[in-house]
Amino acid sequence: MTTFNDIFKSSFLANITSVSITDMVLTLALAFCLGLFIFFVYKKTYSGVMYSSSFGGTLVALTMITAMTILAVTSNVVLSLGMVGALSIVRFRTAIKEPMEIAFLFWSIAAGIVLAAGMLPLAIFGSVIIGVIMIVFMNHKAAYDPYIAVLTVIDHAAETRAAEYLKQQVKTAVVKSKTAQAGNIELNYEIRLKGDDTDFITALSELEGVKSAVLVSYNGDYLG
């Protein structure tokens, strides 16, 4: 016959002390700090059109959640097997807008796993090295970074003049698309600048037959 005391001797209550309070607080605090560092690097190196603060917060939460999960798994072998089965049925349908966001997601997960596994030097120094490398290489803006020049002209003669002037002012100019209508021609050029000076786009807009000239940054994903 099961008594009242037998209920409180269950394996569930026995697992309460399997992870010490000190380990939990230290792991979650370090995971929070690493998550903030990853969030800082993401914000510093973001080069998209619209910055998403919610994704940055997700990186912090993901680091802490992963650390909490791995901390529980490492303290109980049976729980680890059940966790594998539970997580195998999870499917994520959220679309990733930027390829580098995948790297930040894996970075947050890896930092949480390594940290909860007790490899503190690897988690801390590894994250610092990755962060420095990403800031140096991803935050670098050079003169040869691509731009898109959008030109609107009235006829073929104006198109020829604008194209000749543009090719003289930039390193390379490649037509990406051309739309022709009655009295209106729109051209999209992928260009590489010779330097940081963009005053040529103003002079280009003042050429005879040119209605407008627009210069925009190009992140490599062209939509024709």
pLDDT in tens, 143-168: 456 888 888 888 888 888 888 888 88
Element (H, E) at 2: none
Lowest mean pLDDT among 69-73, 85-89, 97-101, 204-208: 85-89
pLDDT, averaged across the chain: 78
Cβ partners under 8 Å of residue 194, min gap 6: 143, 169, 170, 171
Distance of alpha carbon 27 from alpha carbon 68, whole angstroms: 8
CB count within 10 Å of CB 59 equals 25
At 174, the amino acid letter reads V
pLDDT at residue 68 tops 50: yes
Distance of alpha carbon 221 from alpha carbon 122, whole angstroms: 35
- Ordered domains of the chain (ranges, CATH): 4-138 (no CATH), 146-217 (3.30.70.260)
Cβ partners under 8 Å of residue 21, min gap 6: none
Please list, residue by residue across 194-216, b when 16 or more beta carbons sit within 10 angstroms of its beta carbon and e when fewer do. Answer: eeeeeebbeebbebeebeebebe
By the 10 Å C-beta count (0-12 exposed, 13-18 middle, 19+ buried), 85 is classed as: exposed
- CA angle 184/187/192 to nearest 5° reads 155
Per the DSSP assignment, residues forming a β-bridge with 174 are 190
pLDDT interval class at 212 (50, 70, 90): confident
